[in-house]
């Protein structure tokens, strides 16, 4: 959020509607983009560990 809102000076609406690919492209000239996207299994593990909502409902 700091890079999108502070460095790029995007409006909150522009920031939240941008895709990860768009944000990465906008940040590339600043050298702020590093690493690769997580593998599917790693992403699935993170989603299980940090669910978006309470899974007891």
For the chain, the 3-state helix, strand and coil shares in percent, each to the nearest 5, are 60, 0, 40
The reply to whether 38 falls in a domain is yes
**pLDDT tens digits, 8-18:** 999 999 999 99
Is it the case that residue 21 has pLDDT exceeding 80? yes
The reply to whether 57 falls in a domain is no
Task: Note the pLDDT of residue 34.
Answer: 67
The reply to whether 54 falls in a domain is no
If you average pLDDT over residues 20-26, what whole number do you get?
A: 90
Which residues, 6+ apart, have CB-to-CB distance to 15 below 8 Å? 1, 4, 5, 8, 23
Q: Which two tokens stand for residue 12?
A: 């909150």
**pLDDT tens digits, 29-52:** 988 666 777 899 999 999 999 998
The reply to whether 26 falls in a domain is yes
Whether the CB-CB separation of 7 and 32 falls below 8 Å is answered with: yes
The reply to whether 56 falls in a domain is no
Residue range(s) defining the domain that contains residue 40 = 2-49
């Amino acid at each position: 959020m700091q890079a999108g809102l502070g460095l790029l000076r995007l409006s909150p609406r522009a920031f939240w509607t941008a895709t990860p690919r768009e944000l990465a492209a906008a940040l590339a000239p600043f050298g702020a983009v590093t690493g690769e996207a997580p593998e599917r299994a790693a992403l699935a593990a993170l989603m299980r560990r940090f669910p978006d909502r309470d899974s007891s409902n």
